[in-house]
């Protein structure tokens, strides 16, 4: 089998697996910090028990997110040596900065947070939770700056047969990077909020510790509503940025074949890549796509046919992933709004049907995150660095397909087993009752 395809499968698999655990870390870290701060401010023991309860789930989840991240850093060199050589002058810096600014902060203060309950004051302990939260989110910033450069390279020249930095800040501060960062962390906040609301709903349905879980649900609902709205707004701005910088990706996201001025958006559509058309496209909203893409009803949307075939990304998977993600994002706003309304009117406990729905809604934001990543990465194809370097030119020449197959199988087996154990433990500890304020068993 072709090494390029194998290396892509391996990267997709290891990155998507890593990204099962990361969004929850991004969101839950802030939620746990908020819970602990509430405890420090009010002295209410419920918040302390809540902090420990969700903190334990945070740690089980964090362990796998951390270790699977190292794989990705190594994988660039192992499978993508020609890419690493070509972009290293630029791409290596944010990775090294990520480790220096974020990973040390997050891991050191996580150690203080886990083991330091009796070693530091309450305030310093809560501060550690905030530093962990900032650490994880700063790490998202730098890795997404790196990814944004692959999507929209700026601040470089081609010299000595590679891309070299001429302006570091151009890459760090470009709108693509900032929007991608804000979109991603808010997606993580949605995951965290729905996780807290869903697990609280589960316990409320069972009449467990009602006082505590109503408070937890409230925190989840407030944070969730904020995050669901912001992720949607930033998502819209981000899509416009994609339209401006990556026209082939936008065309694939909407499955647009023909170039059109004032393009409509079809609510239902089935792409047919082989014949370069859509089999079905109905329920069109006039000029909507032009409005969404450029915030101008008469703007021109370039169709896929205006690009050579060798420059087009896979359409169906990009389109379906994007549509599903947007649909889910809309659903999250509605669910979060209703949850917020119930909290405000103090009716959470009465709406058993809705609570049940929220339990089953836990995996949905995860799905949206994975789909978003697929849109970003598959939609960039056939480029590894948009417009500069093709994915097919980026693999390691020293590595053969047998080696990639071997490590791919190794990763699938390893990740499969660890993923099952981790998710089992998350279920087990999510179902447990929070411990009373003085006992802390389980180990």
Q: Is 246 in the site for other proteins (CB under 8 A)?
A: no
- Binder among 30, 76, 176, 195 for other proteins (CB under 8 A): 76
- Binder among 25, 29, 51, 79 for other proteins (CB under 8 A): 79
- Binder among 26, 50, 90, 201 for other proteins (CB under 8 A): 90
Category of 221 on φ-ψ map: left (φ > 0), alpha (ψ -120 to 50) or beta: alpha
Cα separation, 104 vs 27, in Å, equals 19
- Binder among 9, 85, 273, 276 for other proteins (CB under 8 A): 85
Q: How far is the CB of 167 from other proteins (least distance, A)?
A: 9
Enclosing H/E stretch for 173: helix 168-173
- Binder among 1, 43, 45, 107 for other proteins (CB under 8 A): 107
- Binder among 24, 60, 187, 362 for other proteins (CB under 8 A): 60
Q: Is 47 in the site for other proteins (CB under 8 A)?
A: no
Q: Is 229 in the site for other proteins (CB under 8 A)?
A: no
Stretch that binds other proteins, among 28-36, 115-123, 205-213, 313-321 (CB under 8 A): 115-123
- Binder among 44, 89, 273, 370 for other proteins (CB under 8 A): 89
- Binder among 5, 12, 16, 120 for other proteins (CB under 8 A): 120
- Binder among 17, 30, 103, 130 for other proteins (CB under 8 A): 103
How far is the CA of 311 from the CAs of 70, 163, 303, 367, in angstroms? 31, 20, 12, 28
- Binder among 59, 230, 288, 423 for other proteins (CB under 8 A): 59
Residue-wise DSSP of 344-395: HTT-GGG-HHHHHHHHHTTHHHHHHHHHHHHHHHHTTTTEEETTTEEGGG-S
Enclosing H/E stretch for 304: none
Residue whose CB is less far from other proteins, 108 or 324: 108
Cα separation, 5 vs 1, in Å, equals 8
Q: Is 134 in the site for other proteins (CB under 8 A)?
A: no
Q: Taking Cα atoms as reference points, which of 391, 395, 396, 235 lies closest to residue 313?
A: 391
- Binder among 1, 96, 280, 409 for other proteins (CB under 8 A): 96
Residue whose CB is less far from other proteins, 199 or 343: 199
Tokens for 323?
């549509």
Phi, psi of 168 (to 5 degrees): -60, -45
80-95 residues labelled b (16+ CB within 10 A) or e (exposed): bbebbebbbebbebbb
* Cβ neighbours of residue 220 closer than 8 Å, sequence gap 6 or more: 31, 193, 194, 195, 196, 197, 200, 339
Q: 260-289 mask for other proteins (x: CB under 8 A)?
A: ------------------------------
Residue-wise DSSP of 46-87: HHHHHHHHHHHHHHHHHHHHHHHHHHHHHHHHHH-HHHHHHH
Q: Is 136 in the site for other proteins (CB under 8 A)?
A: no
Q: Is 9 in the site for other proteins (CB under 8 A)?
A: no
Q: In the window 362-401, what residues touch other proteins (CB under 8 A)?
A: 396-399
Q: How far is the CB of 320 from other proteins (least distance, A)?
A: 32
Q: In the window 308-347, what residues touch other proteins (CB under 8 A)?
A: none
Enclosing H/E stretch for 249: helix 247-254
Cα-Cα end-to-end distance for the chain: 47
Q: In the window 147-166, what residues touch other proteins (CB under 8 A)?
A: 159, 162, 164-166
Residue whose CB is less far from other proteins, 93 or 245: 93
- Binder among 259, 300, 401, 403 for other proteins (CB under 8 A): 403
- Count of residues of this chain found to bind other proteins when the rule CB under 8 A is applied: 77
Strand partners, 162: 159
Residue appearing with tokens 């970003």: 376
Q: In the window 168-227, what residues touch other proteins (CB under 8 A)?
A: 168
């Amino acid at each position: 089998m072709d090494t390029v395809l194998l290396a892509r499968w391996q990267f997709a698999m290891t990155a998507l697996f890593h990204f099962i655990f990361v969004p929850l870390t991004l969101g839950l870290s802030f939620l746990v910090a908020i819970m602990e701060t509430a405890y420090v401010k009010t002295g209410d023991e419920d918040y302390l028990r809540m902090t420990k309860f969700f903190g334990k789930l945070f740690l089980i989840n964090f362990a796998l997110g951390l270790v699977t991240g190292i794989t990705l850093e190594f994988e660039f060199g192992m499978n993508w040596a020609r890419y690493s050589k070509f972009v290293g002058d630029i791409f290596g810096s944010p990775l090294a900065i990520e480790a220096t600014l974020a990973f040390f902060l997050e891991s050191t203060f996580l150690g203080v947070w886990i083991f330091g309950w009796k070693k530091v004051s309450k305030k310093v302990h809560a501060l550690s939770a905030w530093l962990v939260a900032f650490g994880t989110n700063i790490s998202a910033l730098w890795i997404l700056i790196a990814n944004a450069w692959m999507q929209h390279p700026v601040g470089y020249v081609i010299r000595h047969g590679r891309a070299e930095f001429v302006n570091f800040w151009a890459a760090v501060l470009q709108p693509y990077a900032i929007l991608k960062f804000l979109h991603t962390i808010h997606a993580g906040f949605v995951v965290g909020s729905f996780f807290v609301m869903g697990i609280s709903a589960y316990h409320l349905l069972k009449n467990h510790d009602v006082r505590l879980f109503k408070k937890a649900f409230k925190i989840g609902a407030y944070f969730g509503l904020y995050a669901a709205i912001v992720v949607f707004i930033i998502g819209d701005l981000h899509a416009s940025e994609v339209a401006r910088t990556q026209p082939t990706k936008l065309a694939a996201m909407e499955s647009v074949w023909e170039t059109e001025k004032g393009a409509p958006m079809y609510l239902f559509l089935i792409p047919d890549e082989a014949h370069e058309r859509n089999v079905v496209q109905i329920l069109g909203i006039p000029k909507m796509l032009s409005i969404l893409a450029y915030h101008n009803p008469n703007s021109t949307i370039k169709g896929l046919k205006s690009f050579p075939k060798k420059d087009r990304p896979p359409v169906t998977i990009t389109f379906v992933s994007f549509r599903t993600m947007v649909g889910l994002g809309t659903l999250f706003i509605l669910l979060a709004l209703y949850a917020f309304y119930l909290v405000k009117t103090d009716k959470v406990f009465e709406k058993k049907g809705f609570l049940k729905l929220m339990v089953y809604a836990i995996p949905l934001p995860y799905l949206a995150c994975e789909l978003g990543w697929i849109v970003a990465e598959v939609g960039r194809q056939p480029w590894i660095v948009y417009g500069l370097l093709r994915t097919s030119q980026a693999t390691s020449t020293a590595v053969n397909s047998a080696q990639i197959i071997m490590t791919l199988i190794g990763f699938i087996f390893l990740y499969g087993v660890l993923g099952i154990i981790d998710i089992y433990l998350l279920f087990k500890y999510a179902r447990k009752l929070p411990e009373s304020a003085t006992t802390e068993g389980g180990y």
